[in-house]
Amino acid sequence: MHVVQARSLLTKWNAINIYRGCTHGCIYCDSRSDCYHFDHDFTDVEVKENAPLLLEQCLRTKTKKTMISTGSMSDPYLPIEKKLKLTRACLQVIDRYGFGATVITKSDLVLRDLDLLGDIHQRSKVVVQMSLTCASDEMSHIIEPGVCSSRRRYDVLKACQAKGIPTVVWLTPVLPYLTDSYENMKQILDWCIDADVKGIICFHAGMTLRKGSRDYYYRMLDASFPGLKQRYKKVYGNAYEVISPRDKALMDRFHKTCQAAGIMDDPQEIFHYTSTLYPSYEPLTLF
């Protein structure tokens, strides 16, 4: 890792990224794509050491309370967070100024901050968003080698449920010929239903690949699934969207299961839910 003093932090979409880069090692990671213009090795994580200070400067003068999100580009609970505690420090700032928070992660380190997230939710709103790509711990260890098992992430959802903290699951990407089975989707949906998640994001049974991320993905396929890269090249060429041949059947099952369980399945509805404070927390006016 390397430390920097950032010049800015909060985007116009009320999002922050405390770290830049990642050590989770997910073979499908889109953030490796050349379009993000990394000027350092992706695993040499850039640490925005002054993130809590910058966030406080922003929130101190912000007149309207909003949801503050983190994790869209880099997981806020990378292993280095255990020592640095910058994500926790930012959550403390969010709590101090009465804003809401949503975190996107695939790490069980978020459990460390459940006390703080619970406090924020009592006064404002919190949504914990967890990525779940495959039900098999064995497969997860291959395609997401640097994070906790899928079953452990299910445990995180259950812990949030017990604490009364709403959750959303990212069932994406779906890797053609690897995680695009009915059994895989059913197990993840069963976990989501049992954990009473509010919504599940699944754009389609597929993934995206572009220059940079495609190169890395293919190298990892060669290492763990010999011959599969050639199949991808034959079926998809250099396509950006790589859709499973089971897409229609899987997505039909996905939507029917979610709707029967009362779980949001429309991405735009979920994005609205995670980015908007409850109406009851909006300032009251006389007129």
* Chain segment 147-189, per-residue pLDDT in tens: 999 999 999 999 999 999 999 999 999 999 999 999 999 999 9
pLDDT score of 115 more than 70: yes
Alpha helix locations (H) across the chain? 51-61, 81-84, 86-96, 114-123, 137-143, 150-163, 182-194, 213-224, 228-236, 247-261, 267-275
Measure the CA–CA gap between 148 and 128, rounded to whole angstroms: 16
Q: Which domains does the chain have, with CATH numbers?
A: 2-279 (3.20.20.70)
Those residues whose C-beta lies under 8 Å from the C-beta of residue 196, and which sit 6 or more positions away, are 161, 167
Q: Are 168 and 129 in contact (CB under 8 A)?
A: yes
Measure the CA–CA gap between 139 and 144, rounded to whole angstroms: 8
- The structure's pTM equals 0.94
Mean pLDDT value of segment 82-107: 98
